[in-house]
Amino acid sequence: MTRAELAGKIDLTLLSPVATELNIASLVADGLNYRFASVCVPPCHVALARSIIRDNPLKITAVTGFPLGFSSADSKLFESVEAAGCGASEIDMVMNVSLFKSGRTSAVEKEIRRVVEALPGAVIKVIIEACYLTDQEKRLALELSVNAGARFVKTSTGWGPGGARVEDIRLLHDAAQGRILLKASGGIKTTGDALEMIGAGADRVGSSSGVAIVEGFYG
């Protein structure tokens, strides 16, 4: 793997509630400079990111239902469609863990499918917040995401009590059997962290430390 290939697997992320427009502009500049897979930003900053990127190939990821996932299905759909309309080509939507834990898996799958079907040209990633789930529930969350047509399962928001774990990526990779891609996110700070996740089966890594990760790579 080259440094450029590593950068192409990273969503450079800034989801701080106190991130300013200047911070977002700096993030986008880094995204363009290092050619990351995307910049991952709050929905309110998608239009700003798009205005800076213009015709460059850098993609924009917007988070929706973030960070708790228990907003209504209609509001999550609206938020996702609006973000796409402002320029996001990838949507990282938080699964409704509350309904999932209540056994309402059909409702969870339907919510994901509605976003997938409303945005056929977008890459939909489902954040399952794995730290709250048993191994069996992680597998079930992946199956719901596959059935609903999502492109990725993502491990975590980074706001829960636990972030990305190599064990979870291995478990999800085994369960996926090539049917859906995996994004590791939450607490990935170093080059070693990122490479370990990729080695375990992650197709994408989300990190606010993307620049340090790429700068630390000497492969």
Catalytic residue numbers, as ranges: 92, 154, 183
Q: How far apart are CA 211 and CA 133, in angstroms?
A: 31
d(CA 25, CA 136): 41
Instruction: Give me the torsion for CA of 132, 129, 12, 178, rounded to 10°.
Output: 120
b/e per residue, 97-131, with b = 16+ CB within 10 A? bebbeeeebeebbebbbbbbeebeebbbbbbbbbb
Residue where the block lists tokens 């630390």:
216
Would you call 82 exposed, middle or buried from its count of C-beta atoms within 10 A (0-12, 13-18, 19+)?
Answer: middle
